Structure 1
Amino acid sequence: MTKKNASNTVTINDVARRAGVGKVTVSRLLNSPSTVAPATREAIRRAIEELGYLPSSAARALASKRSHLIGAVVPTLDNPIFANCLDGLQKEVAAAGSTLLLATSNYDGLREAEAARILIERGAEAIMLVGAARDPALYALLDQQGVPYCLTWTADPDIDASWVGFDNAAASTSVIRYLFELGHRRFGAIAGVTAGNDRAFARLQALVDFTAAHGCTLAVSEQRYTVDRGAVGLSEILADQPTAIICANDILAIGAMAEAQRLGFRVPDDISIAGFDDMEIAACMNPPLTTVRVNASEIGRAAAQALLGQIGGESRSMKLVETNLIVRASSAAPRSLPDTTLA
């Protein structure tokens, strides 16, 4: 069917007539799709497509007293784990008839605060943030403006906010406990930069606590989350002769593995390496990477549901997302096996 000429303005009344419904029903579809029956939704969307109708966001905002904009500030888009989270977030937001506004902070608290402020100015009704450690002034601003927010990648029942995430310390402990039970006692950690990053801090502190409790050694190098810094981190801790390296994420692990192999180490015969996140490429490494699987897409979907719920008047919510240790060929027992009994 031919669309109307672009010079003729298509109105909501045209869409209603084409779909055989009332104007109010079309308005409900645009502002709250879930309140319209599936068959009617399809008829209205077909009419919108056929007529080339573009609803006015300003008119929608005035009619519903809502902007239908959801904001998100993530540390970076270089890491696929955040892209996967945003994909889940976007799908839920779009299904609710809203639009996602995105900003990145590059792990900089000041940039994050400025990005959040701009999102609020642009009309964001709610904002997804990553982690809980930040200047309290940002929380004060969000509360003052009445903008709901959801913290992700963190899990703390004591936080007075909506959150969707996992126990970073427990997930990190699962890796070192597995390697300990294989017989490793000399560990290396290529951690993320812990200053201002509660996730990186929790993962590293778990390793520190475990090695201290079980009489093991731990050499630590804090690095930015890039492949080349993973290689640098490995070089910095090799003097301590670790038999197992635990990396704060898969990107660092990929860099560490490449550097180990370049230096002539066999993975895992000479040194075991483990990552965190289970990026798609982790299973394709040679050898495939032992890592912790994080369901980033589920975090995004659940965060969207929490934000949309708060906009609709629901109370704050908390959701714990499961993580799993994925054992692959990059980890094995050390050549000399000590007593593996846990103290």
Structure 2
Amino acid sequence: MSAATVSRALNHPDLVHPATRKKIDLAIRKSGYIRNRAAQTIHGRRSATIGLIVPTIANVIFAELVQAFNDAVSQQGFTLLLASHGYDLATEYALVRKLLEHRVDALALIGLDHGEDTYRVLREQGLPALAIWNYDPVSTISCLGIDNAEAGRIAASHLLMLGHRRIATIFPDTGENDRARSRRSAAQATLKAAGLGDRADWQIQTPYNTGQAKRASLELLASVDRPTALLCGNDVIAQGALYAALKLGLKVPGDLSIIGIGDFVGSAELEPPLTTIRIPARRIGAAAADHLVAAVDSESEDAMIRTCFECELIMRATTATPPVG
């Protein structure tokens, strides 16, 4: 077959007869041939890669999102290049540059907290870019996610509705994390509007790490003057808080209610199952991938999108009315 036919089968398989594609695929398998994507990029053709930079791959926070994103781009002929920055925006900027050097066709980032250098290089390069996980009606780049402030309000309102008035919050450092910052601010505003006191010793800070969250919760819950409910920044922190309560012999939810945010893989299988605010991670990941692939394939300029997904309260077994007395 001609080189043009082989090229067409690789780059536009829908234009080649299935029997011809089958012959070409067999020849590729027998010869061990690998096409040179770098050479294609040099000649101005797309690399068929999409970059995704997440804060961490050390736990389940972004697992479903990454899987759904990867599945969607793969089904459409693209390869995912994945990197993580450890909640460090300076590291994120370096990773953005590296992925751009590899000539990715599009780039997805988590949230809207990014350094000015990152925003500048994205503007200068002009490739499709998308912020995932956080929705903002006035974002400077396209965004697709949930209203994280709403997630914080729902969590706080649920505890208040149950009758809790002694509520502590456990969140990570929110300085470079707009998702956690929005949740925390909205939750605290909701509690304050209900007339609850602003106790600094009940506003705990810990990273998204089960072990560290457990240690921070142990210190908080060991006090005689302890809260009756914990509002956690996400399910990873909530899991650590649950382990701390069990270690101290506290009954959940009899002695202590715990609520998380995320509804990550495994949250429903905890014992007791975790009450949480569900983020539709798989839907967000798939929709983000579809948007970027369409933007790459489009001849026109990438249009700004701002898409908000609903989050919802998932009531399980870690929250109840506060203990009497």
**Superposition TM-score, scaled by structure 1 size:** 0.85
> Do the aligned partners of residues 111 and 331 (structure 1) sit closer, same or farther apart at CA in structure 2, a change above 3 Å counting?
same
Equivalence for 2:249: 264
Shift of 1:193: 1.6
Q: Render the CA deviation track for 1:157-201: whole Å, top value 9, x for unaligned.
A: 101311110000101211111111111111011112211100011
Which is greater in Rg? 1
Cα pair 1:32 1:96 within 8 Å, conserved: no
Structure-2 residue corresponding to 1:124: 104
Aligned residues between the structures: 313
Q: Which residue of 1 aligns with 2:277?
A: 292
Q: 1:248, 1:234 → 2: CA distance?
A: 13
Q: Does structure 1 retain, via aligned residues, the 8 Å contact 2:172–2:208? A: yes
Q: Which residue of 2 aligns with 1:199?
A: 179
Q: Show the counterpart of 1:307.
A: 292
Matches within 5 A, 1:276-287: 276-287=261-272
Q: Which residue of 2 aligns with 1:324?
A: 312
Percent of counterpart pairs with the same letter?
A: 36
Higher deviation after alignment, 210-219 or 65-74? 210-219
In the aligned structure 2, how far is the partner of 1:104 from the partner of 1:281? 22
13, 17, 27: which is aligned to 2:2?
13
Measured in 2, the distance between the counterparts of 1:43 and 1:222 equals: 61
CA contact (8 A) 2:267 2:274 kept: yes
> Are the equivalent residues in 2 in contact too, given 1:306–1:317 (CA < 8 A)?
no
Cα gap change, 1:45 to 1:331, in 2 (>3 Å): farther
1:225 is matched with: 208
Counterpart contact for 1:128–1:150, Cα < 8 Å: yes
Separation in structure 1 between the aligned mates of residue 207 and residue 88 of structure 2, nearest angstrom: 12
Paired with 1:75 and 1:41, the residues of 2 have a C-alpha distance of 43
The alpha-carbon deviation at position 301 of structure 1 amounts to 1.4
Counterpart AA for 1:327: M
- 2:130 matched residue in structure 1: 150
Q: 1:235: Cα distance to partner?
A: 2.9
Q: CA deviation at 1:276?
A: 1.4
The verdict on how the C-alpha distance between 1:30 and 1:262 changes in structure 2, with shifts beyond 3 A counting, is same
Match of 1:189 among 169, 173, 189: 169
Please give the secondary structure, in 2, of the residue aligned with 1:107: coil
Deviation of the 1:152 alpha carbon: 0.8
**Root-mean-square deviation (CA), in Å?**
2.1
Partner of 1:7: none
Q: Which amino acid aligns with 1:269?
A: G
Q: Pick closer, same or farther for the CA change 1:252–1:315 going to 2, 3 Å.
A: same
Separation in 1, partners of 2:56, 2:17: 36
- Asked whether the equivalents of residues 172 and 180 of structure 2 are also in contact (C-alpha less than 8 Å), the reply is yes
Q: Work out whether residues 81 and 296 of structure 1, in 8 Å CA contact, stay in contact via their aligned partners in 2.
A: no
Query: What's the CA shift for 1:325?
Result: 1.0
Work out the CA distance in 2 between the residues paired with 1:193 and 1:236: 18
SS of corresponding position for 1:80: coil
How far apart in 1 are the matches of 2:59 and 2:153? 23
Q: After superposition, where does 1:89-108 map in structure 2 within 5 Å?
A: 89-108=69-88
Q: Which 10-residue stretch deviates more, 235-244 or 92-101?
A: 235-244
What are structure 1's unaligned runs of at least 5 residues? 1-11, 15-22, 338-343
Tell me what 1:336 maps to: 324
Q: Aligned in 2, Cα 1:118/1:59: closer, same or farther, shift over 3 Å?
A: closer
Structure 1 residues 138 and 32: CA distance shift in structure 2, 3 A: farther
CA distance in 2, matches of 1:327, 1:97: 39
Q: TM-score, normalised by structure 2?
A: 0.89
After superposition, give the CA deviation of every residue in 1:7-30 in whole Å (9 maximum; x if it has no partner). Answer: xxxxx738xxxxxxxx45x54553
**What is the alpha-carbon distance in structure 2 between the residues aligned to residue 227 and residue 300 of structure 1?**
24
Summarize the Cα distance change of 1:206–1:84 in structure 2 as closer, same or farther, 3 Å threshold: same
Secondary structure, in 3 states, of the residue corresponding to 1:280?
A: coil
